[in-house]
Amino acid sequence: MENKTLEPLADSDSAELAEKIKRWEENGSKLFWGHLGLRMEEWSDRGVTISVDIRPELLNLGGLLHGGVHASLIDTAIGMLIMIVRGEEDIVTTNLNMHYLASRSEGRVFAAAEIVHQSRKSITAQGFVRSEDGERLAFGTATFRIVGPRPQA
């Protein structure tokens, strides 16, 4: 899958966001993000794409990428997008609805997310998991609740 640039932010916002993304990836390396081996591929305030290399420990007993990895990719991509859009607010997933279409046992998969609707206290978004050759493997929708301002450390 080629790495396309999403709709860019203003230059000053873009540099600031790139710095935030770098911090999030560094902090996430010790968390679930790092455990899965996720990578941020592209980002803007319009969409996010993340990826993961398929490894043996991410497979189910049938030898295919586990459905939980698909769900985690979509949930994480949407969560990252909302963190970009809503800035310093804490968010939690309240609903995740998945549809599985196909799977892979090797290579790399990509999850892309975009916002469908947002209000003051909730955001609904959709995500798609695709293989390297562009085949759609899964899609889902998620609703996130805006909990409130993130406590300052």
Residue 131: pLDDT band (50, 70, 90) is very high
Residue ranges of domains in the chain, CATH in brackets: 11-149 (3.10.129.10)
Task: Please say whether the beta carbons of 142 and 72 come within 8 A.
Answer: no
User: What pLDDT sits at residue 21?
Assistant: 85
Instruction: Please tell me the distance from the alpha carbon of residue 132 to that of residue 79, in angstroms, as a whole number.
Output: 22
- pLDDT digit string (tens) for 101-125? 999 999 999 999 999 999 999 999 9
Side-chain-facing half-sphere of 136: CA atoms under 13 Å: 10
Strands (E), the chain: 39-43, 48-53, 89-100, 108-118, 122-131, 136-149
